[in-house]
């Protein structure tokens, strides 16, 4: 029983949660800056996002497991289905249960944010919620899995960046400002960089399994150049926001995670062995999370 619980915890891949909630933390900071923060919305946003991330992890385990992508060539921790600790049927049930719980949390979040008087806006966010659930599942599941067609980067950028930051901010404020796009771009580009780094690491196994990620399509060396573009694009967005938004001078401490990301690039760009990139994944994910926490801390400090 203990081993089965451990297998489910491992399949949930809790280490991926800090990255997934980074956009929610930034959205909460922007809401606080607009004097519209609501703790209930924040908690429900976190729970919904965590549900989507766990759902994505379960679905990826299932999709790659049944397709045979998770095999002896895979780099990184062994997946649950790959190890045999969780069967295909059990993982399906886990996916269905997670879908139900995540959908219920999303409905509660929408109701708390908009009540009964904003039907059209509520409907739009409900569609976004369903889209997020579908995107989490269809990344690797099914014959038309978009992760096998090089489209994963687009969906990560949209849902981890734009929807996560701009969508969560709108839940509080029910308005959008042009400057909000820059923190959203930073989180979206760095989140995409995590996926790209994962694909760089797995490029050999993905090629053998006919998983045509963007890295497989463009090649390992071009994938590293693309990775640098994602990192520097996010840093540029941080700089633009700092220069043009009305924020305190100590905002520039957020350059600390930016510096960490530049140090990360110095390790990635000359690396010729994809397998050696595995330790770099957590550096980008944790640097992104660090930025989000520092961003929130700056807004809190400036409001005291």
Report the pLDDT value the prediction gives residue 75, as an integer from 0 to 100: 57
Report the pLDDT value the prediction gives residue 55, as an integer from 0 to 100: 92
Domain assignment of residue 8, yes or no: no
Rg (CA), the chain: 19
Report the pLDDT value the prediction gives residue 205, as an integer from 0 to 100: 85
Report the pLDDT value the prediction gives residue 118, as an integer from 0 to 100: 84
Domain assignment of residue 243, yes or no: yes
Residue 236's domain comprises 16-303
Instruction: Decide if 28 contacts 167 (C-beta within 8 A).
Output: no
Domain holding 30: CATH number? 1.10.600
Domain assignment of residue 239, yes or no: yes
Q: What is the mean pLDDT of each run of 10 residues along the chain (304 residues)?
A: 76 87 97 95 96 90 70 57 77 92 96 88 93 89 82 91 95 94 97 94 87 92 96 97 89 94 96 92 95 95 83
Report the pLDDT value the prediction gives residue 150, as an integer from 0 to 100: 85
Could you tell me which residues come within 8 angstroms of residue 122 by beta carbon, excluding any fewer than 6 positions away? Answer: 110, 111, 114
Report the pLDDT value the prediction gives residue 271, as an integer from 0 to 100: 94
Give the C-alpha separation, 75 to 73, whole Å.
Answer: 6
Domain assignment of residue 2, yes or no: no
CA 275 to chain CA centroid, Å, is 22
Report the pLDDT value the prediction gives residue 1, as an integer from 0 to 100: 57
The 10 Å Cβ neighbour count of residue 259 is 11
Number of structural domains the chain divides into: 1
Q: Provide the 3-class DSSP secondary structure of residue 239.
A: helix
Report the pLDDT value the prediction gives residue 38, as an integer from 0 to 100: 96
Domain assignment of residue 45, yes or no: yes
Which pTM value belongs to this model?
0.92
Give the C-alpha separation, 221 to 69, whole Å.
Answer: 22
Instruction: Decide if 163 contacts 127 (C-beta within 8 A).
Output: no
Give the C-alpha separation, 110 to 105, whole Å.
Answer: 9
Instruction: Decide if 282 contacts 15 (C-beta within 8 A).
Output: yes
Please choose, from the candidates 288, 212, 296, the residue with its C-alpha nearest in 3D space to the C-alpha of residue 16: 288
Q: Long-range contacts for 215-224 (Cβ within 8 Å, ≥24 apart)?
A: 216/150, 217/150, 220/274, 223/196, 223/199, 224/200, 224/268, 224/269, 224/271
């Amino acid at each position: 029983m203990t081993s089965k619980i451990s297998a489910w915890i491992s399949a949930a891949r809790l280490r991926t949660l800090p990255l997934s909630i980074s956009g929610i933390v930034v959205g909460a900071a922007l809401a606080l800056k607009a004097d519209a923060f609501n703790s209930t919305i924040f908690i429900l946003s976190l729970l919904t996002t965590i549900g989507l991330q766990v759902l994505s992890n379960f679905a990826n385990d299932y999709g790659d497991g049944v397709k045979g992508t998770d095999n002896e060539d895979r780099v990184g921790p062994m997946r649950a289905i790959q190890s045999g600790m969780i069967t295909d049927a059990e993982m399906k049930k886990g996916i269905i249960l997670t879908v139900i719980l995540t959908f219920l949390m999303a409905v509660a979040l929408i109701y708390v944010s908009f009540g009964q008087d904003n039907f059209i806006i509520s409907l739009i966010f409900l569609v976004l919620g369903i889209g997020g659930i579908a995107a989490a599942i269809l990344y690797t599941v099914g014959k038309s899995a978009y992760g096998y067609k090089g489209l994963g980067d687009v969906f990560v950028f949209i849902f981890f960046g734009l929807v996560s930051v701009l969508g969560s901010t709108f839940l509080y404020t029910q308005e959008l400002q042009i400057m909000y796009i820059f923190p959203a771009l930073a989180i979206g580009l760095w989140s995409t960089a995590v996926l790209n780094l994962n694909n760089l690491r797995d490029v050999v196994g993905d090629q053998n399994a006919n998983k045509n990620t963007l890295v497989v399509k463009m090649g390992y060396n071009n994938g590293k150049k693309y990775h640098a573009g994602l990192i520097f694009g996010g840093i540029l967005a941080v700089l633009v926001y700092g220069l043009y938004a009305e924020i305190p001078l100590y905002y520039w401490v957020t350059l600390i995670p930016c510096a960490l990301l530049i140090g990360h690039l110095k390790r990635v760009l000359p690396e010729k062995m994809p397998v050696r990139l595995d330790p770099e994944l957590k550096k980008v994910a944790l640097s992104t999370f660090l930025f989000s926490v520092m961003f929130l801390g700056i807004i809190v400090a400036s409001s005291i």
